[in-house]
Structure 1
């Protein structure tokens, strides 16, 4: 640090030297707005961009009780295109097992989670198959 001058940190020195060498010239996106910036008042623009890049849905951040409730809601539509009754029953069993596991140590907001009736789900699956045929 000189008498009346300012202190330049090691990082600042490295940045200045790289600028002088032209290492920041003609970088991709130079002069363009930052990618992913949505509305100016959207403070979570970077989170939304990260989720999109990582292929995540907002649902993955929900508490387990709400995720399971959404899965229950969607299950009849998901199994509609399954090729066999066995796969439909397996999907019902898988979700019921996860509901049982959740009930052992519930967390998050209280949501009443009813288990899937495999016979009812198979009946809906059969009706959807007949309707398409």
Structure 2
């Protein structure tokens, strides 16, 4: 163990001895689900930094917008409005595919392995 780990461990033990952890909010409840568990470990820190900054990668934002448009289409009764939404969805799909092709992640590489998990998330 390095010095930092030893110091951290000692502080934790001291806090436990002083019962500083006894009244923490959420005590006894399960930890919140990690929404980045599906992302490969080598990419996770980058995604966390983006998420903490309130940003998400452009392809994820487009995918999220596509799902929102699909939901609107499913609820829409006006045929003219539905057609507008379908056009907008097609534009987003084209943009998404161009972005994936540009990033060389289209149907190969890391993205393919995690595409279904990303789709379920957003």
Q: Normalising by the residue count of structure 2, what TM-score does the alignment of the two structures yield?
A: 0.33
**Higher RCO (C-alpha under 8 Å, 6+ residues apart):** 2
Name the one with the larger helix percent: 2
Q: Normalising by the residue count of structure 1, what TM-score does the alignment of the two structures yield?
A: 0.31
Q: Which has the larger radius of gyration?
A: 1
